[in-house]
């Protein structure tokens, strides 16, 4: 996410090697302008940003540090818009959220992603299937509800979405749901019929939030359609989907500034955990190569139990990490979303994220082999890998049961053993300090401290 822009910013900053070099500043600003336009940032927003950065840099005295400060400040300002950040709950539950958007934008899937996001944060969620226009929309939401393991209100015999919404809200109040997410009908293009239906649903739902789901791959068309929905419906935020694809990223930078409505979430992958809160100063940090440690910590806290984490840490420190622990941690990581997105949050690792062809922890051939091997072990062997390491008969049995060769089993066992020793080495306070020092050496961006 934002890898191309981040890489461009790094190149621009490196052009300012000396203080009071106005010629270098002009070159850096020209390069910055070119990068932003290429990334599909709106030309008026680019012009405004460049003008602000130039003015603030000259005020502070031309140099790399003043340029970085000016770029960071003004970029954050451009990304911001009036309204709340993240997700804000109503003072009295349930919080009602109306999901709107055109067909093909990923609205129904995003509704399920948002339900998953809220569920991980301990909220009781009800999804409402009020898209009665698109064939199979109700069935799709039902299947997604099963995957997310949240409740759904659906009535396929009903033809009026207003009736569906009223009944669902009555159910939500009676059964004390924290959040109600209403999936509404979309069209291939904006039309009066769509807007009239949405206005009727809005009147019935009296929502606390109205999110417009926009496809980032459509570039400036996403901004124009969001603006139209805002004029007709009064949206409180935008969710940009498909941000992991070939999106140039610029639409995320200019959208809030152009329509005056905050960008609230980004869809960063196909899986249900791949939804990230859009917080301007954190996004600026990523664009500037500083990562986003706060968002990474929040994602981790949402899926990993603190007591369990301490238990695992103690086992690692004692060299007792086993295959059962491995499977448990694998499941936790999967809940956090795409590996590419997670790596981009680590300071100095943004460029590495660009090189990753998003490792799929579910379908990776190596992970499948490991799971097959573990599945062929006895419970005792899973808890004590040492039983297998020097026992050829056990290895042969496991290889036969998993469909792997004995050489493959040996290789996996050796890798697991090395990984456990490596983790043990970095366990504890001193180990964490060593790890941090190593990460700094690996991920240095050349940026001065800000």
Q: Where are the alpha helices (DSSP H) in 15-82?
A: 22-38, 43-60, 64-79
Residue 43 to residue 36: CA distance in whole angstroms: 9
**C-alpha to C-alpha distances, 231 to 162, 226, 259, 261, 412, nearest whole angstrom:** 22, 9, 10, 11, 58
Model pLDDT, residue 449: 35
Q: How many domains would you assign to the chain? A: 3
- Scan for tokens 């033809």, then name that residue: 159
Residue 63 to residue 19: CA distance in whole angstroms: 4
Q: Is residue 175 part of a domain?
A: yes
Residue 344 to residue 123: CA distance in whole angstroms: 28
Q: Is residue 84 part of a domain?
A: no
Whether 335 contacts 303, CB under 8 Å: yes
Q: Is residue 88 part of a domain?
A: no
- For residue 163, name the pLDDT band (cuts at 50, 70, 90): very high
Vertex 245: Cα angle to 343 and 191 (nearest 5): 135
On the question of pLDDT at 292 being above 60, the answer is no
Which residue, among 27, 279, 216, 70, has the nearest Cα to 35 in the 3D structure? 27
Examine the fold and report which residue of 271, 288, 305 is the final residue of a domain before the chain moves on.
288
SS3 235: coil
- For residue 432, name the pLDDT band (cuts at 50, 70, 90): very low
Q: Is residue 449 part of a domain?
A: no
Q: Is residue 324 part of a domain?
A: yes
333 shares its domain with 351: yes
Spatial neighbors of 11 by CB under 8 A, at least 6 apart, are 31
Spatial neighbors of 302 by CB under 8 A, at least 6 apart, are 120, 121
Q: Is residue 217 part of a domain?
A: yes
Whether 413 contacts 396, CB under 8 Å: no
SS3 61: coil
Q: What is the DSSP secondary structure assignment for residue 198, as one 8-state letter?
A: H
150 shares its domain with 280: yes
Q: What is the CATH number for 182?
A: 3.40.50.300
Identify which of 150-154, 411-415, 425-429 has the greatest average pLDDT: 150-154
430 shares its domain with 317: yes
Which residue, among 312, 244, 286, 223, has the nearest Cα to 45 in the 3D structure? 223
On the question of pLDDT at 443 being above 60, the answer is no
435 shares its domain with 344: yes
On the question of pLDDT at 302 being above 70, the answer is no
Q: What is the CATH number for 38?
A: 1.20.120.140
Examine the fold and report which residue of 226, 256, 288 is the final residue of a domain before the chain moves on.
288
pLDDT single digits (tens) 324-376? 877 777 776 666 666 566 655 555 545 545 545 545 555 567 778 888 899 99
282 shares its domain with 302: no
158 shares its domain with 16: no
304 shares its domain with 436: yes
Environment class of 175 (CB within 10 Å of its CB; exposed 0-12, middle 13-18, buried 19+): exposed
Q: What share of the chain is helix, strand, coil (3-state, %, to 5)?
A: 60, 10, 30
256 shares its domain with 337: no
Plot region of 250 (φ>0 → left; ψ -120 to 50 → alpha; else → beta): alpha
Q: Is residue 90 part of a domain?
A: no
Q: What is the CATH number for 377?
A: 1.10.260.30
Residue 93 to residue 266: CA distance in whole angstroms: 25
- Domain interval for residue 390: 296-443
Residue 388 to residue 450: CA distance in whole angstroms: 51
366 shares its domain with 265: no
Give the residue, 274 or 427, on which the prediction is more confident: 274
Residue 64 to residue 72: CA distance in whole angstroms: 12
Across the chain, mean pLDDT equals: 80
Q: Is residue 85 part of a domain?
A: no
The long-range contacts involving 306-314, CB below 8 angstroms and separated by at least 24 positions, are 313/427
Using a cut of 0.85, tell me whether the model's pTM lies above it. Answer: no
309 shares its domain with 275: no
Phi, psi for residue 89 in degrees, rounded to 5 = -90, 150
On the question of pLDDT at 76 being above 60, the answer is yes
Examine the fold and report which residue of 79, 113, 130 is the final residue of a domain before the chain moves on.
79
329 shares its domain with 436: yes
Taking each helix axis from N to C end, the angle separating 392-402 and 406-425, rounded to the nearest 10 degrees, works out to: 110
Spatial neighbors of 21 by CB under 8 A, at least 6 apart, are 62
Model pLDDT, residue 176: 95
Model pLDDT, residue 445: 36
112 shares its domain with 207: yes
Residue 283 to residue 2: CA distance in whole angstroms: 9
Whether 148 contacts 177, CB under 8 Å: no
């Amino acid at each position: 996410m934002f890898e191309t822009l981040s890489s461009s910013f790094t190149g621009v900053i490196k052009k300012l090697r000396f203080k009071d070099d106005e010629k270098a500043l002009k070159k850096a600003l020209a390069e910055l302008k070119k990068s932003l336009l290429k990334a599909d940032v709106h030309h008026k927003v680019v012009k405004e940003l460049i003008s602000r950065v130039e003015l603030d840099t000259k005020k502070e005295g031309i140099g790399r540090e003043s340029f970085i400060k000016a770029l960071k400040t003004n970029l954050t300002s451009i990304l911001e818009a009036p309204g709340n950040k993240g997700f804000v709950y109503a003072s009295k539950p349930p919080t009602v959220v109306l999901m709107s958007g055109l067909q093909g934008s990923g609205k129904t899937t995003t509704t399920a992603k948002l339900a998953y996001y809220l569920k991980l944060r301990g909220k009781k969620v009800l999804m409402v299937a009020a898209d009665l226009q698109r064939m199979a929309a109700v069935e799709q939401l039902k299947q997604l509800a099963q995957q997310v393991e949240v409740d759904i209100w659906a009535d396929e015999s009903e033809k009026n979405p207003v009736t569906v919404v009223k009944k669902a809200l009555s159910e939500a109040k009676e059964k004390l749901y924290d959040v109600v997410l209403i999936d509404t009908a979309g069209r291939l293009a904006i039309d009066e019929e769509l807007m009239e239906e949405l206005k009727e649903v809005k009147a019935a739902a009296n929502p606390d939030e109205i999110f417009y789901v926009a496809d980032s791959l459509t570039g400036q068309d996403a901004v124009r359609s969001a603006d139209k929905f805002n004029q007709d419906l009064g949206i409180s935020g935008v969710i940009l989907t498909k941000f992991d694809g070939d999106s140039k990223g610029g639409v995320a930078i200019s959208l809030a500034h152009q329509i005056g409505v905050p960008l609230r979430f980004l869809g960063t992958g196909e899986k249900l955990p791949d939804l990230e809160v859009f917080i301007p100063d954190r996004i600026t940090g990523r664009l500037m190569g500083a990562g986003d440690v706060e968002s990474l910590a929040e994602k981790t806290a949402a899926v990993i139990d603190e007591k369990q984490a301490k238990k695992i840490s103690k086992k690692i420190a004692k060299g007792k990490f086993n295959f059962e622990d491995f499977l448990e941690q694998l499941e936790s990581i999967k809940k956090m979303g795409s590996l590419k997105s997670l790596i981009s949050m680590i300071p100095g690792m943004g460029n590495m994220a660009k090189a990753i062809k998003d490792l799929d922890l579910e379908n990776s051939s190596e992970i499948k082999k490991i799971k097959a091997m573990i599945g062929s072990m006895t419970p005792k062997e899973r808890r004590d890998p040492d039983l297998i390491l020097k026992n050829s008969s056990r290895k042969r049995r496991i290889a036969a049961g998993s469909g792997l060769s004995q050489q493959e089993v040996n290789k996996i066992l050796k890798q697991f053993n090395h990984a456990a020793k490596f983790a043990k080495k970095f366990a504890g306070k001193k180990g964490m300090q060593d790890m941090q020092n190593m990460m700094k050496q690996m991920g240095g961006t050349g940026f001065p401290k800000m």
